[in-house]
Each structure stands twice: as structure tokens, then as C-alpha cells.
């Protein structure tokens, strides 16, 4: 690996001691794709090369099913597994399946209580509920580039969200910072849900006990991969639990310091193909 990689915890570089993972979990936004949704040829080739070695490459993202599928296509991943919606939805990729995939598991929860409490404290925020089918119900349109497309519908009343089962709830408040959200979630307790705060004022709520890590652990068991033979790469707060789950973990250089501290290593930023550095190290390049 290159000089971009620095060590946080007293563990070795994934490539330095000939350690080879059997399962590699990869975040999408800020890791595989940059913030303009650009996928470089170098990253695509590195992902494909690792998969061609027989390593289980598992995409693990906060994106919904419908937002994840185009990225799988761009990467050329047609078999294996993918974790969507921060662990609430697990896909088994199968080129022989009618859609090219099957939904292996969907976990939902009743969001009524938490939505009601949050709206009392954030009356001007935007709210979105993701159904188990990967569709979104929005209280109002989100900023351009966020939660758009044919699977998105604006509801007439807030009460329409409360009666739905959710695999994820998104709260977006441009008037607040991520620090504001962190303080609010701590003060409210947020019982019965798992939550993560994004870089901006973006709050993700998932069923209690559900995360990328929980879904990856189920996949690891199904594939009979040793716990120590797993690698995770990501850049967000919703990747922290995944870092703790993995045998070895790498944070992207564009991650914030409170994320980097949880990883074993830090690679280059997404704008400099930091993920490719990690994967090429595994390939011996």
C-alpha cells in the first residue's frame, strides 16, 4: 500500500504480512463513488480483480435497494451478497434470478413513536420513510440530488408516514448541523431504534440492533468465513459498527476524525482512489 496509509491501532497493514481476507465489505458513497457519483476505472478494476480471486466482495451501504442496484451494475458484480439500507435489507445476487437478485431478508419497525417525538423537536425538518420494497415516502421534496426518482413519492400528510412499517427513516434539516443532530439524539435517548448521523444534518434511523455489521455477520456465517478473515472499508459514521465487526478495517482519507479513530488503518481519500490502494495492496501490486 502507498504512503497514504497510516496506522491507528497496533495491527498490521492488510497486505504487509500476507494476510488475505475471504470477505471484503465495501461502503459506496465516499468510498467506491466520490460525491459526484464518479467511479474511476482504477477502482472498478480493483474491485473486479479482488472478486475474480474468489474473495466475497459485499457492498454494504446506507442506500436503498433501488439506489444500490445501479452501482452493482457499474461494478459488474452479478453474484454474491449486498447489504442495503444500513443493514435492514440483504440481497443475494444471482444472475439466474428473474431480477438478477433476491431479497434474502428485510427488517422493518414501527416508526410512529420516534417520528412523533422527532417532529416535536424538528417541526421544519424533511422526513422520509423507506419501505421494505425500497420505496420512499417524503413529507416534502429533498434537496436536488437527494432521494429522487420513480421510487419516491411525496405524501399529503405526515400521518401517512406514521402508519407505515419502515426499514429506514431519514430526517433532513438544512437548518441544523450534524452536531445539533448528535446532541438531539443523545438528549432524546432514541429507544427502540438504531441511528447514525451523517456529515450534514442527516439522520438515519433503523430497526433496533440493525446495522451494516449485523447484516454482514449473518452473511459471514452463511459463507462460513472466519471472523478474522474479513476486511471493511468505509468513510461514514454508519461504518463504525462495521469497522468493529471486521477482522481488519480501513477508513477513507476523506472520513472525519471521529470515524478514522475506529479503523485500523487510514487510506487515501476517495478523490485519490484510496479504495484502490487498499485492494491493490491485497493483489500484490
Going through 15-124 in order, the beta strands assigned E by DSSP cover: 23-26, 56-60, 80-84, 89-93, 101-106
pLDDT of residue 82: 98
Kindly indicate the confidence band of residue 143, based on its pLDDT and cuts at 50, 70 and 90. Answer: confident
Task: Name which residue leads in pLDDT, 28 or 175.
Answer: 28
Domain(s) of CATH 3.40.50.1000: residues in the chain: 6-107+211-283
Instruction: Note the CATH architecture for domain 6-107+211-283.
Output: 3-Layer(aba) Sandwich (3.40)
Q: Is 57 helix (H, G, I), strand (E, B) or coil?
A: strand
* Residue 194 DSSP class: E
Going through the chain in order, the beta strands assigned E by DSSP cover: 6-7, 23-26, 56-60, 80-84, 89-93, 101-106, 126-130, 136-138, 152-154, 168-172, 193-197, 202-207, 230-234, 248-251, 265-266
Kindly indicate the confidence band of residue 3, based on its pLDDT and cuts at 50, 70 and 90. Answer: very low
Residues sharing a CB contact under 8 Å with residue 247, sequence separation 6 or more, in sequence order: 21, 226, 227, 228, 229, 230, 231
Instruction: Note the CATH architecture for domain 112-207.
Output: 2-Layer Sandwich (3.30)
Gap between the Cα atoms of 156 and 165, Å rounded: 17
pLDDT tens readout for residues 9-58? 444 455 556 788 999 999 999 999 998 999 999 999 999 999 999 999 99
Domain(s) of CATH 3.30.1240.10: residues in the chain: 112-207
Number of Cβ atoms within 10 Å of the Cβ of 88: 29
pLDDT of residue 184: 77
pLDDT of residue 199: 55
Amino acid at each position: 500500500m502507498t504512503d497514504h496509509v497510516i496506522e491507528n491501532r497496533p495491527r498490521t497493514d492488510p497486505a504487509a504480512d500476507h494476510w488475505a481476507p475471504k470477505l471484503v465489505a465495501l461502503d459506496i458513497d465516499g468510498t467506491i463513488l466520490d460525491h459526484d457519483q464518479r467511479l474511476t476505472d482504477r477502482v472498478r478494476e480493483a474491485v473486479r480483480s479482488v472478486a475474480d480471486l474468489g474473495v466475497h466482495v459485499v457492498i454494504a451501504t446506507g442506500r436503498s435497494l433501488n439506489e444500490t442496484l445501479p452501482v452493482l451494475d457499474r461494478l459488474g458484480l452479478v453474484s454474491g451478497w449486498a447489504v442495503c439500507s444500513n443493514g435492514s435489507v440483504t440481497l443475494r445476487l444471482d444472475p439466474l434470478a428473474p431480477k438478477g437478485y433476491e431479497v434474502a431478508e428485510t427488517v422493518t419497525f414501527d416508526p410512529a413513536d420516534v417520528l412523533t417525538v422527532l417532529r416535536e423537536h424538528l417541526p421544519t425538518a424533511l422526513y422520509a420513510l423507506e419501505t421494505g420494497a425500497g420505496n420512499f415516502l417524503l413529507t416534502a421534496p429533498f434537496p436536488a440530488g437527494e432521494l429522487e426518482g420513480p421510487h419516491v413519492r411525496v405524501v399529503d400528510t405526515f400521518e401517512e408516514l406514521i402508519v407505515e412499517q419502515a426499514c429506514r427513516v431519514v430526517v433532513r434539516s438544512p437548518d441544523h448541523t450534524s452536531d445539533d443532530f448528535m446532541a438531539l439524539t443523545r438528549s432524546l435517548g432514541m429507544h427502540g431504534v438504531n441511528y447514525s448521523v451523517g456529515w450534514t444534518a442527516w439522520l438515519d434511523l433503523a430497526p433496533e440492533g440493525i446495522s451494516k455489521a449485523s447484516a454482514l455477520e449473518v452473511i459471514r456465517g452463511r459463507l462460513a468465513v472466519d471472523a478474522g478473515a474479513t476486511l471493511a472499508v468505509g468513510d461514514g459514521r454508519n461504518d463504525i459498527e462495521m469497522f468493529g465487526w471486521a477482522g481488519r478495517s480501513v477508513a477513507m482519507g476523506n472520513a472525519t476524525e471521529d470515524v478514522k479513530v475506529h479503523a485500523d488503518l487510514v487510506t487515501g481519500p476517495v478523490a485519490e482512489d484510496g479504495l484502490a490502494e487498499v485492494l491493490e495492496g491485497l493483489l500484490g501490486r
